[in-house]
Chains A and B, each alone.
Chain A
Amino acid sequence: MKSYIAQRLVIAVLTLFGMSVVIFVLLRMAPGDIVDVLFSAAGYVNPSEKQAILRELGMDKPYWRQYVEWITQIFHGDLGKSYRYDLPAWQIIRPLLPVTIELAMLSTIVAVALGVPTGIVSAVRQDGLLDYAMRVFSLAGLSMPSFWLGMVIILALVSWLAWIPPLTYVRPTENFWLHAVQFMLPALAVGYRSSALIMRITRSAMLEVLREDYIRTAWAKGQGEWAVVWRHALKNAILPVVTVVGIEFAFLIGGLVVTETVFNLPGVARFLVEAILWRDYPIVQNLVMFIAIVVILSNLAVDLLYGLLDPRVRYA
């Protein structure tokens, strides 16, 4: 097990190195740079002034040198300086992380809480009224983009209650209930969409397992529905569900752009888009690396969960 984790971590380091090169190159291939954006707020671009600012920001150096400097800084625990804010990148990024991680976790919890039970019920009551109702429910979830659902929630609240959740981040230590309300609504909007996918995967995995001989044997032995479904069927059907949950969580870390924008939450995804538009390379590079790390770690966690959930899985 330990050697497996070590092996995966080595691969993770190589993946991160590859990611760092890709993001560094892609960013510089995009037309325009931070100085063009700065000048755009002034309505013109002056080539000599532009050159001076590029020099000031260290962007006149050869690309390979900029890359080496960035990686060296990371190894020294320094994420560089935001071009836009003229502040250390870590100072900008740090407050964003808890917001996005909390929202992604809550959304995943909502998705699992909605998706897994409905998937099970739908499979067990296949082609029954309940199954059709669940399938419509999940299809609706897949069809409705979460940002649209988010905006509908906001508009419904303001129209009916003349109230919307707070638009500046409320820390849990400041006011826990307000904080919970602030996060629950976007988590519901995002979680509902993700739950649809989880429900469909759960349903199809369960249907497959429910047709297995050992399930028929369990029924024949006179075991109750609860025991057959939960103990025998779900345990064997859960692996693809865990995989999807892991992928969804990793996706949510960087994919909450519009939800964070609609609910005005100061998270990673919204900030990342802003930073890309501003060509704020230090912020973009480090945020992308953060997202890559989360993806790698959640994949690793899913793989390790396999071993816990299915004793047949062995790590070499």
Chain B
Amino acid sequence: MRSRMLPSLVALLAILDVLVGGAPAIGQNPPASPTPRSGGVLTLAQREETPQGFAIHETSTVSTTWPAMPCFSNLVLFDPRKPQESADTVLGELAEKWSWQDNYRNLVFFLRKGVKWHDGQPFTSKDVKFTFDMLREAPDAQGKLRINPRKDWYANVVNVEAPDPSTVIFHLKRPQPSLLLMLASGYTPIYAAHVPPAQYRTACVGTGPYKLKEWRKGEFIEYVKNPDYFVKGRPYLDGLKYVIIKERGTRVAALQAGQVQAAFPGDTSKTTAEQLRKAVPQLVVTRAAENVNENVIMNTKKPPFDNVKVRLAVAHAIDRRALNQAVHQGGAAIGVSMPSKPWGIWGPAEATLATLPGYGKPAEEKARAKKLMAEAGHSPEKPVKVEIVTRAIAVYVDMASFIVNELKQIGIEATLKQIETAQWHAMATRGEYQIGANLTGIGIDDPDANYYENFACNSPRNYTFYCNEQIAAMVDKQSGEIDPRKRLAIVLDIQKKLEEEGVRPTLDWRVDNFAQWPQVKNLVPHNNFYNYGRLQDVWVDK
């Protein structure tokens, strides 16, 4: 019965989508002035070897998404030319059109026809089903990932159906408007069903604008233009070359000397940008959010941080603005668990922020923190002694050193312990710590991606082990809310509640000063550095 009705349903949806899902497909935008020219190779800085080759689905780092994105396509993608990502900037990529159906319980994609994988095989809905069955670990999935960091993103997907080669239907348990945004992230490329997922660790078969030419380990990744790319006339460039430069000073020198024409996203601090501007005034520097925050993780299963008063004391004690000045020379943005405007769309306004623990006047905040410590039974004569852990990387250590000093002022004597990368996440996941200084990157500026990943009771990345059913219910409620205004109100409540519970206090949101040479056109940094690496519209004005 269902299968007989399906073709007519699909036809009906095709008509409806014109009314419902009317966003343009990628490549349909008018090109930015001046008139783009084809040709040339863009050389970009890459701060380290890509950790898992091109296997974006097996990692959570911009070191993989940035150099691997040009090989792939998504169903949908955030408009490369619009710096602020939102539901309104989502464009079709492999999906020509899409449509929400059944009160946001079904999401139907109508795929482009005639698209080919880089090895010449045709792209069909089977590839989409293969990818998402693999990601959500469906019992009948044809592919399996070695590591699956974003399984939680698809927890609400019941089934992915491919009724014909150019239609895919996502059936959801409940409405979830955020799903479309997750599908638009650089973290959500479509894998080929005929290529074993493990192969993406060493090679890349995509449908994207560029084909992998060579990956010389530890040296560079080189792409050439895909002549069969499904958007006619794109990409403009003949190729891309990502030069792996481990030493930060050398990366800056390479940019300054023009050996690379664009920086690595998130790599240019305020100070470096000022130096670069002074040395090469014509360099274009754009301030853009990274969607990475610095936060304090406190193990709520271990004393003294099982006591909400001690956690709140920590939240009150750390002067965010002073941290921003000391560590980022004022270059970061202040905010709580979701970034505030202009860096994000879900964070509270400045006035609300000032009422939350840690965001008031520093002297008053310190006094409140001391009072809370006293209420928790601690005094300067009887200080709490803890070990604060952090990753043995400069950006983590700088922040942690500042925190140690702040905690000392309220009677918490913290000794800093640096943990090597090989142990950091294992330690955090197992909860083998009391308090730590941490960095968290989020794939999209969206509450679902953040709260399910980092605050949900059973998430492996909920390093604090904080679990509150009331907050969990609020997270579910906002996730299913279709009205953006109502949703925002719930999200603001969640943020307030999390701050009042002293759960993973956010210290700041990192802001990049993305630097590129003026001849590089259409490379627009977004408010999230995971999502603008496709580069199909980028061209070089020689």
Contact = CB atoms under 8 A, between A and B. Distances in A.
B158 to A, nearest CB: 23
A302 B344 CA distance: 65
Given A32-B423, A264-B247, A266-B219, A44 B254 contact: no
Interface stretch (B56-64, B347-355, B480-488): B56-64
Given A41-B51, A43-B425, A274-B218, A154 B60 contact: no
B422 A37 contact: yes
Given A53-B146, A264-B246, A158 B421 contact: no
A162 B60 contact: no
Contacts of A164: 250, 253-254, 257, 259
B259 A166 contact: yes
Given A44-B460, A86-B201, A277 B219 contact: no
B250 A262 contact: yes
Contacts of A41: 51-52, 58-61, 63-64, 147
B139 interface: no
- Residue from A32, A46, A53, A95 having most chain B Cβ neighbours under 10 A: A32
A157 B249 CA distance: 13
Contacts of B147: 38-39, 41-42, 46, 49, 53
Nearest to B420: A32
Contacts of B148: 42, 49
A176 interface: no
B149 A266 contact: no
State which size class the interface on A falls in: 35 or more
A87 B260 CA distance: 29
A290 interface: no
A154 B249 contact: yes
A32 B421 CA distance: 9
A277 B421 CA distance: 8
A168 B250 CA distance: 12
A85 B422 contact: no
Interface string A28-47: 00111100111111111110
Given A41-B59, A42-B59, A262-B249, A168 B146 contact: no
Contact of B202 (A49, A53, A85, A263): A85
Given A162-B258, A261-B247, A277-B421, A39 B426 contact: yes
**A-B residue pairs, 7 tightest by C-beta:** A32-B422, A44-B460, A42-B149, A41-B51, A41-B59, A158-B253, A32-B423
Given A40-B426, A264-B247, 14 more contacts: A31-B422, A32-B422, A36-B423, A41-B58, A41-B63, A41-B147, A42-B425, A44-B149, A46-B429, A167-B243, A167-B259, A261-B247, A262-B247, A278-B422
16 contacts: A32-B423, A43-B460, A44-B429, A49-B147, A92-B217, A95-B216, A158-B279, A162-B258, A164-B250, A167-B250, A264-B244, A264-B250, A266-B219, A270-B246, A274-B49, A277-B421
Interface of A: 30-33, 36-46, 49, 52-53, 56, 85-87, 92, 95, 151, 154-155, 157-159, 162-164, 166-169, 261-264, 266, 270-271, 274, 277-279
Interface of B: 49, 51-53, 58-61, 63-64, 146-149, 198, 201-202, 216-220, 243-247, 249-250, 253-254, 256-260, 279, 420-426, 428-430, 460-461
